[in-house]
Structure 1
């Protein structure tokens, strides 16, 4: 009888181990992977520690500038979901690095993180492909929120960025290439908090088809990021909110 109970115990223990290992694996898969690109190492270390303390976020690599970022991407076993990008860096700054990322790794989200709050700087980063812009003196909770917003919704807009970017977007008689009915529907839904997957469901199309509409709209408006498209569309009356 002891042998039978021992066998039963080992079987249950083995099953529990497999269950917990499976759960752990799924949690690891669900983590938002982050790369931090900033030439101030002390600041990087603080950001890395803050984000690593979040159960759903993992920092996969750090780099001093865009050149090091390129090398890290080639050598990293994990391609990050989001890159936290400083603006002023030696060798390859945030503008050039963001444009390079959008060309070679369009699936990576970008969150600009800088002390610069000038209108021109914010606008240039959003037009270079950043999905959001956060000042380095923001609350830690704001950074975590911004990371999650970009991961799940593709963009992060706060009041400061919205106000400055809205003033800088050109207005007047604009010439926008004709958009199809599906592209106009996407544009309208893009100006809501909905994630891309939720937009695809709302439009009753696949995520792959949605990606084609997204790419077409971004190309026609000549803006590489969702925040830029949203604010451009709203200010120029392409959509009503």
Structure 2
């Protein structure tokens, strides 16, 4: 079962998506919100597998909400549902952790396809969006998603210039445990040594 939460400040669009999905046996809508603050309450309570969210919303926008969701519930998948196809909007949502991006003027059936693909761990981007806007970011997103929560946290600390001893003290781990994590991160990200790992962590400046 794919559980989904929807956030959109235009009720008519929420109603349209709800009508589309209500007859899909493998999908269950667990909450609907009209602003980002309400969305976060629903997500924290219901922990949906997929979140479909507008970008421009009252109180908390979709970009900020996505960052919070991916930090608190990294396994939940976010799909942007927006009227904006500009490069800046697409890149900001991907950087925040979104796995998909759909334009509001697309057929509603495309929403269903996006939900199904993203729920399987894939990405989905509207056919009207220039692929050059997201291909590089998708590769980086894929790299982020193969790391465990502990590895992401350690990568953030590495990016802050912390040594293995300092990270061990912060996380109440042994230095050998941190070194093992470093080796695993290097292997998963296909990097070459600690120097490249440090450069990678600093350059990407990931907000995990």
Shorter-chain TM-score category?
0.5 to 0.7
**1-side partners of 2:202 and 2:48: how far apart?**
24
C-alpha deviations, 1:165-221, integer Å up to 9, x for none? 15997xxxxxxx997344329xxxxxxxxxxxxxxxxxxxxxxxxxxxxxxx99974
- Within a 5 Å distance, the mapping from 1:185-204 to structure 2 comes to none
Structure 1 position 86 matched with structure 2 position 22? no
Q: TM-score, normalised by structure 1?
A: 0.56
Quote how far apart the aligned CAs of 1:149 are: 0.8
**1-side partners of 2:98 and 2:135: how far apart?**
18
Q: In structure 2, do the counterparts of structure 1 residues 146 and 224 end up closer, same or farther at CA, with 3 Å as the change threshold?
A: farther
Structure 1 position 46 matched with structure 2 position 52? no
Quote how far apart the aligned CAs of 1:141 are: 2.5
**2-side partners of 1:168 and 1:127: how far apart?**
11
Q: In structure 2, do the counterparts of structure 1 residues 38 and 164 end up closer, same or farther at CA, with 3 Å as the change threshold?
A: farther
**2-side partners of 1:114 and 1:107: how far apart?**
22
Quote how far apart the aligned CAs of 1:162 are: 4.9
**1-side partners of 2:35 and 2:201: how far apart?**
27
**Is this contact kept in 2: 1:36–1:84, CA < 8 A?**
yes
Quote how far apart the aligned CAs of 1:223 are: 5.6
Q: In structure 2, do the counterparts of structure 1 residues 150 and 219 end up closer, same or farther at CA, with 3 Å as the change threshold?
A: farther
Structure 1 position 65 matched with structure 2 position 35? yes
**Is this contact kept in 2: 1:119–1:164, CA < 8 A?**
no
**1-side partners of 2:83 and 2:62: how far apart?**
13
5+ residue gaps, structure 2: 138-158, 160-182, 192-199
Q: What RMSD over aligned residues (CA atoms) do the two structures have, in Å?
A: 3.0
**1-side partners of 2:77 and 2:42: how far apart?**
16
Structure 1 position 184 matched with structure 2 position 202? no
**1-side partners of 2:87 and 2:56: how far apart?**
15
Question: 2:95 aligns to what?
Answer: 127
Question: 1:13 aligns to what?
Answer: none
- Pick the structure with greater CA Rg: 1
Question: 2:77 aligns to what?
Answer: 109
Other structure's SS at 1:111 match: strand
